[in-house]
Every structure is written in C-alpha cells, then in structure tokens.
C-alpha cells in the first residue's frame, strides 16, 4: 500500500535519535558534576561495560547492513523503500535503538555516571513516544498489512 500523494513520505522525526541519546548522556554527566554519586563497583563496570559495548556494535552494524542489503535508508527523515524484517529485525523491531541504548549503557557504566543511568529512562521514553511512535505510524501508512503482520509477530524492543 503506497502513501497518499499528499502524505509526507517519511516518519517526520525532527531530532535525530543519536542526538536524543547523546543529550541524555550529557544531562547525566552535568548532574554527576553537580551531585556526584559513585554507586557501581569496579568489578561490575569492567564486566558490564564491554559487554554492552560489544552488543551495541553488533546490533548497530547488523542493523545497518540489513538496511543497506534491502537498499533502503535507516534515516527517519528519508522515505523508506523497503520494509526490513530480516537480520536483527526478526527479534526486535528496533535493533538500532537497542544498540544505541547499549552504547549509552557502556559509556555510562565505564565512566560510572550514575545520573546518566537514571536519565536513560527519560531517553527511552522520548525515543518510544517521539521517534518509534512516528516511525510506526509512517510504516503502517506506507506498507499497510505487511507492516501490521510484522508488528504482530515481532516485539517493539526485546
């Protein structure tokens, strides 16, 4: 099902999702400077941060490769030319955002930025409502039943 001729052929996401994640980290870092909290034991940081970093790299690279393989763009202000449902998209409808959250967690853990961990809740809420909500409405408008079937069988996050 094609979009109506007068409809916008993109998700109308005005703030790039990586900027939303970066803003949360910056806000957490600023709060950490004002109200320092050292909460995480070094052993946890040394184990968890590299794991989240690796997950972020794998998910982001695999997702990007899947988009390129289908000759469509992952950029939400550009028209989608294909519905990507293979690769990591078999397990989550938003592997790039899961990957960005993993990068965020790796950074926050590595530098022991407690407030960034708290800010991640707000970042995820903003991504969920402002970005994913718009993308899902656009994909349903653009791909119709194919997207609805995909959405019914694959979880939004994990």
Q: What is the pLDDT of residues 32-77, one digit of tens each?
A: 999 998 777 888 889 999 999 999 999 999 999 999 999 999 999 9
Question: Is the pTM for the entire model greater than 0.85?
Answer: yes
How confident is the model at residue 157, as a pLDDT?
A: 92
How confident is the model at residue 146, as a pLDDT?
A: 97
Give the count of alpha carbons within 13 A of 106, CB side only.
15
How confident is the model at residue 120, as a pLDDT?
A: 97
pLDDT at position 5 over 50: no
Residue 92 CB coordination number (10 Å):
18
* Joined tokens for residue 140: 């349903």
């Amino acid at each position: 099902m094609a979009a109506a001729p007068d409809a916008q052929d993109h998700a109308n996401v005005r703030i790039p999702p990586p900027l939303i994640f970066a803003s949360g980290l910056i806000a957490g870092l600023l709060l950490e400077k004002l109200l320092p909290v050292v909460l995480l034991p070094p052993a946890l940081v040394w184990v968890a941060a590299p794991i989240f970093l690796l997950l972020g790299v794998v998910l982001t690279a695999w997702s990007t490769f899947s988009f390129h393989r289908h000759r469509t763009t992952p950029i939400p202000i550009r028209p989608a030319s294909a519905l990507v449902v293979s690769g990591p998209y078999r397990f989550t409808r938003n592997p790039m955002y899961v990957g960005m959250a993993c990068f965020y967690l790796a950074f926050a853990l590595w530098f022991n930025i407690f407030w960034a961990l708290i800010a991640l809740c707000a970042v995820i809420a903003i991504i969920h409502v402002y970005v994913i909500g718009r993308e899902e409405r656009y994909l349903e408008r653009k791909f119709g039943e194919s997207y609805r079937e995909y959405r019914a069988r694959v979880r939004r996050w994990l």
